[in-house]
């Protein structure tokens, strides 16, 4: 269904975290992979409800993944993308060199 919306001209689809990374015992990364099999990453935006979730998205998909975060977490997300903040699995490991 997501592919049909993109083919119809939708610029970006929002993927809600409920049931994927929020209020579940184990994250449903298979659902995220299913979206990415059918739709280019630049056409998707993923809700990331807490720092451990957006930390995972950036670690797995890079700094250009589109994330929707709470306004109070923007500084943490920007710091992670710049490589100056992170959890033990990402701190100092994410770098972006752009002119």
Quick: pLDDT tens for 15-33.
999 999 999 999 999 999 9
- Output the DSSP codes for 35-93: HHHHS-GGGEEEE--SHHHHHHHHHHH-TT--EE--GGGHHHHHHHHHTSS--TTTTTT
H helix or E strand, kind and range, residue 2: helix 2-7
Find, among 6, 68, 77, 55, the residue nearest to 35 by Cα: 6
Q: Whole-model pTM?
A: 0.84
pLDDT surpasses 70 at 43: yes
Q: Encode pLDDT of 80-99 as tens digits.
A: 888 777 676 776 667 666 65
Please identify which residue in the block is written with the tokens 């184990």: 26
């Amino acid at each position: 269904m997501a592919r049909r919306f993109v083919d119809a001209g939708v610029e970006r689809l929002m993927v809600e975290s409920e049931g994927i990374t929020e209020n579940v015992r184990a994250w449903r990364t298979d659902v995220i992979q299913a979206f990415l099999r059918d739709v280019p990453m630049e056409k998707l935006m993923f809700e990331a409800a807490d720092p451990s979730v957006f930390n995972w998205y950036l670690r797995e998909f890079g700094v250009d993944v589109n994330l929707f975060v709470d306004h109070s977490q923007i500084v943490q997300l920007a710091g992670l993308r710049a490589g100056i903040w992170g959890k033990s699995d990402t701190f100092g490991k994410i770098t972006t060199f752009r002119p």
